[in-house]
């Protein structure tokens, strides 16, 4: 069910390598794109970091984390909150359009929300 929607989001982002719908516990529900990395391990690690950052931000009354990004020399990894229980995780190449990716993460909330609530 989610494969088509994930593919549509991925296709709108130049340089997107893969995109995954990830549960809050870090387990990918569905993924599309290149399998350059172990997406299950990556999702678990990134969600752990998102939870830690979210907890820190709530303690200092900044609010909930909606997007989280990590850039390496090979990829940029972005996580965006869809609902309190589900997130989108993107793996972007060095040639990716990061602004477009951030926009599409925000836009994806309306694309997925009726199926995830």
Confidence check: pLDDT of 79 > 90? yes
pTM as predicted: 0.87
Please name the helix (run of DSSP H) or strand (run of DSSP E) that holds residue 82, with its range, or none: none
Instruction: Give 99's DSSP letter.
Output: H
Is residue 115's pLDDT more than 90?
no
pLDDT band of residue 101 (cuts 50, 70, 90) is very high
Q: Check whether 113 has a pLDDT greater than 80.
A: no
Sheet with strand 16-23: strands edge to edge: 28-33, 16-23, 86-92, 76-81, 67-71
pLDDT at 6: 93
Average pLDDT over residues 76-85: 91
For tokens 């989280």, name the residue: 68
Which residues make Cβ contacts (< 8 Å) with residue 11, sequence separation at least 6?
A: none
Domain 2-116, CATH among 3.30.450.30, 3.40.50.2300, 3.40.140.10, 1.10.3720.10:
3.30.450.30
Dig out the tokens for 28 from the structure: 């990918």
Domain ranges of the chain: 2-116
**pLDDT at res. 117:** 65
DSSP character at residue 85: S
């Amino acid at each position: 069910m989610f494969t088509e929607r994930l593919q549509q989001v991925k296709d709108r982002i130049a340089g997107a390598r893969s995109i995954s719908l990830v549960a809050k516990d870090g387990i990918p529900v569905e993924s599309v794109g290149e399998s350059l990395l172990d997406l299950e391990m990556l999702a678990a690690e990134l969600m752990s970091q998102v939870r830690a950052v979210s907890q820190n931000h709530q303690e200092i009354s900044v609010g909930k984390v909606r997007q989280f990004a990590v850039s390496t020399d090979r990829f940029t990894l972005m996580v965006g909150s869809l609902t309190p229980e589900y997130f989108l995780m993107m793996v972007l190449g060095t040639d990716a359009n990061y602004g477009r990716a951030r926009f599409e993460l925000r836009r994806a909330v309306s694309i997925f929300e009726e199926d995830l609530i």
